Structure 1
Amino acid sequence: MADIDARSVARFVEDTAHAAMPHRLYTLIFPMDRPNGKVLLGMKKRGFGQGKLNGFGGKVEPSESVEQGAIRELAEESGLRATRVENCGLLLFYFEDNPVAMEVHVFMAHEYSGKPAETEEMRPEWFDIDNMPFSQMWADDKCWWPLARNGRSFVGRFWFKADQVTITRQALTPVDSLDFARNARNIS
């Protein structure tokens, strides 16, 4: 059984049983072009989530903070270099027959440099923030995207069947702040 990562914030939002589970830390970051009403998504070309449109992100390395992980993943998967990001959400995923929870810290990138470029892992494309391609995305995205799109912070918990498509249970809570996670999030 894996140890609980010190950067995990599960203890602030989960019941005792779920908080005691090992949590693997991930990031998800969405470059925003607010003046044009666009968000950059990437078509996942390989690995977990292959064939789905998503934000950019992945595992947080042991030597980096969650925010540093989000910025690194965006650069690796899209070629963009984020210079200003905002943490807007926390997603916790539980998959049937998997004893490790996914703890995903969601960010919006409001300032960045470079041009989106296809990588081995992702093919980036701009989409209208008011007309998201939810049919090509993870099933939970349509639940929390309206909050993120409107600048609201949130905590979401989603239980998936082993098929990684069917949500069997969910809890989504808008929150005034994610400050409870600030200290843990910046541990590196």
Structure 2
Amino acid sequence: MALPDCLQPKLFTLVLVTDGRRVLLGKKKRGFGEGYFNGFGGKVEAGETIRDAASRELLEEAGIAADSLTHRGTLTFLFDDRPQPWEVHVFHSDSYTGMPTESEEMAPQWFDYDSIPYQQMWADDVFWYPLLLKGSACFRGTFHFVNTHTLVKRDLSEVPCLDGVDYKLC
């Protein structure tokens, strides 16, 4: 039995680009999460795969194309002030084409791994970024927020890496 539409999660992507010692983050210039540093991503559009959405969002927001994308995690976000859960598919790339370029939505900036501005990021990031940055870990997590920005509960674990996420949103 399928869940009612209102309980189906909204699908999102997030791409983190690294060069072995630095991570490329974008400062969000508008919309949800404005002012926070984050990876690059957004909503999966009807008819596109999750991987295609990740590639599209990276190009739109940072002006670069990933040479390869590796699915590293799935995060579920539950907000008390938003009725629909969010399912975010996290991808990693260590190779890309183009020059990171500011867009209308994001201002890209490189950070050394030991200088990531967690205090200017979503409260969940401090927990799962280290798993992604260590290079070999994949993860699954659920994060509960109240008033959009206050993290009140989390569940995060390493899981086997399976890079088969490629289904389409209908």
Q: Same fold (TM over 0.5)?
A: yes
**Count of matched residue pairs:** 165
**5+ residue gaps in structure 2?**
none
1:25-40 correspondence to structure 2 within 5 Å: 25-34=11-20, 37-40=21-24
Counting aligned pairs with the same residue, the percent is 46
Corresponding residue for residue 145 of structure 2? 160
| 8 Å Cα contact 1:87-1:105 kept in structure 2 | yes
Aligned CA-pair RMSD: 1.5
2:34 maps to which of 50, 65, 69: 50
1:135-150 correspondence to structure 2 within 5 Å: 135-150=119-134
By percentage of residues, which structure has more helix?
A: 1
Aligned to 2:99, the other structure's residue is in SS state coil
| 8 Å Cα contact 1:22-1:99 kept in structure 2 | no
TM-score relative to the length of structure 1: 0.83
Distance 2:17 2:45 in 1: 21
CA-CA distance at 1:29 after TM superposition: 0.2
**Deviation beyond 4 Å, 4+ runs, structure 1:** none
| 8 Å Cα contact 1:89-1:178 kept in structure 2 | no
Which residue identity does 1:27 align to in structure 2?
Answer: T
- For residues 77-122 of structure 1, the C-alpha deviation after alignment (integer angstroms, 9 at most, x for no partner) is 0000112111111110000032200100001112210001111000
Distance 1:139 1:166 in 2: 7
CA-CA distance at 1:2 after TM superposition: 6.2
Aligned to 1:124, the other structure's residue is in SS state strand
**5+ residue gaps in structure 1?**
5-20
TM-score relative to the length of structure 2: 0.92
Query: Do residues 175 (structure 1) and 159 (structure 2) align?
Result: yes
